[in-house]
């Protein structure tokens, strides 16, 4: 199991120097990754100070040598695939192959899309997301690409250099659970980042063993049906670590799929995520605090 810090690209974290310092300290404390949100407005009524996530990740890249870095998540339907392909490739090369691209529909759609005259129909955005993923995968090959979709077109283009990671930078797909379409999409790529929300108020909730097992079984079934269940795949669960490590006792839920072995990769899935104040010294991840493989809420 691996662990990462997860921060928004607004508020204190809109300062690249703060993110760079946090990334450096997180790496020193033993965390495995740092992930940055990708918003352009968030809830625009709040008038937040927001930074470009790719500049934040560049700052983090220059401050670290080991940890994985990425977005969680990039609303791919509002991005030009050509620009994003170049950005991710450049960062993957800068980091020596440490990038991960988290993608999804994004939210809130009226604010992030409608504010700029972009379509707000979720089915149209999902179709553009799927086409963009196909085009990204082709562009990262370094070979000449011609792709003609309903929303995305690439005409005889070869993107060089390629990312360090082959055959591509890992793609994690986020989406709400128990909605099945986002997780079906995730099963076709390299990882799933399900979002768990409570029924009243739609607030984020902590993962429990039963829910994680249900998600794992669904993803496993989807990948088995596609004949790719033996290929590496990451299940990424999100939670909050308390400031006091002593308050976080307890092992991971039995059989939790984020602790399983992926062929040709180290044991476990990629990072669970933790949120912490920008100026706080990040404590080590749960496994560094005496409970290997544990996940603390």
CATH for 3-289 (3.40.50.300, 1.10.15.40, 3.20.20.30, 3.40.50.2000): 3.20.20.30
Task: Give me the pLDDT at residue 243, please.
Answer: 56
Task: Give me the pLDDT at residue 296, please.
Answer: 25
Q: Domain-by-domain residue ranges, the chain?
A: 3-289
Q: What is the 3-state secondary structure (H, E, C) of 190-236?
A: CEEEEEEECCCCCCECCCCHHHHHHHHHHHHHHHHHCCCCCCCCEEC
Rounded to whole angstroms, the Cα distance separating 236 from 5 reads: 12
Task: Give me the pLDDT at residue 285, please.
Answer: 81
Q: What is the CB neighbour count within 10 angstroms for residue 201?
A: 6
Please choose, from the candidates 238, 240, 236, the residue with its C-alpha nearest in 3D space to the C-alpha of residue 276.
Answer: 240
Rounded to whole angstroms, the Cα distance separating 120 from 122 reads: 6
Rounded to whole angstroms, the Cα distance separating 55 from 132 reads: 22
What percent of the residues of the chain are helix, what percent strand, and what percent coil, each to the nearest 5?
Answer: 35, 20, 45
List 197's β-bridge partners, or say none: 204
Question: Where would I find the beta strands (DSSP E) of the chain?
Answer: 3-7, 33-36, 68-75, 99-104, 145-148, 153-157, 171-177, 191-196, 234-235, 272-274
Chunked into runs of 10 residues, the chain (297 residues) has average pLDDT values of: 92 97 95 96 96 98 98 97 98 98 97 97 97 98 98 98 98 96 98 89 85 95 96 89 53 35 32 51 63 29
CA distance readout (Å), 160 to 69, 86, 94, 148: 22, 9, 14, 20
Rounded to whole angstroms, the Cα distance separating 22 from 5 reads: 9
Spatial strand order of the sheet with 99-104 comes to 234-235, 191-196, 171-177, 99-104, 68-75, 33-36, 3-7, 272-274
pTM of structure: 0.87
Cβ density class 248-265: b for 16+ within 10 Å, e for less: beeebbeebbbbeebeee
Rounded to whole angstroms, the Cα distance separating 21 from 27 reads: 10
Vertex 54: Cα angle to 161 and 69 (nearest 5)? 80
Write down the number of H helices and E strands in the chain.
7, 10
Task: Give me the pLDDT at residue 286, please.
Answer: 73
Rounded to whole angstroms, the Cα distance separating 97 from 237 reads: 23
The structure tokens listed for 146 are 């011609």
């Amino acid at each position: 199991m691996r662990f990462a810090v997860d921060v928004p690209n607004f508020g204190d974290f809109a300062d690249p120097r703060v993110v760079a310092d946090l990334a450096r300290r997180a790496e020193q404390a033993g965390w495995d990754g740092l992930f940055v949100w990708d918003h352009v407005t968030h809830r625009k009524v709040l008038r937040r100070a927001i930074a470009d996530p790719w500049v934040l990740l560049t700052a983090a890249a220059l401050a670290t040598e080991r940890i994985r870095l990425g977005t969680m998540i990039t609303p791919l339907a509002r991005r030009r695939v050509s620009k994003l392909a170049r950005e991710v490739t450049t960062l993957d090369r800068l980091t020596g192959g440490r990038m991960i691209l988290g993608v999804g529909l994004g939210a809130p759609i009226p604010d992030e899309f409608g504010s700029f005259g972009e379509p707000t129909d979720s089915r149209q955005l999902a179709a553009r997301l799927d086409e963009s993923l196909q085009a990204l995968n082709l562009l990262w090959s370094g070979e000449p690409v011609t792709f003609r979709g309903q929303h995305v077109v690439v005409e005889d283009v070869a993107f060089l250099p390629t990312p360090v990671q082959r055959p591509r930078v890992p793609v994690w797909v986020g989406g709400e659970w128990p909605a099945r379409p986002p997780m079906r999409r995730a099963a076709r790529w390299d990882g799933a980042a399900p979002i768990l929300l409570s029924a009243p108020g739609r607030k984020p909730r902590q993962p429990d063993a039963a829910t994680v097992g249900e998600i794992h079984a669904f993803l496993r079934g989807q990948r088995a049906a596609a004949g790719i269940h033996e290929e590496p795949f990451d299940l990424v669960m999100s939670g909050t670590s308390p400031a006091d490590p002593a308050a976080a006792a307890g092992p991971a839920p039995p059989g939790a799929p984020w602790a399983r072995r992926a062929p040709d990769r180290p044991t476990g899935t990629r990072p669970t995520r933790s949120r912490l104040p920008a100026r706080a010294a990040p404590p080590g991840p749960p496994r560094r605090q005496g409970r290997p493989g544990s996940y603390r809420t």
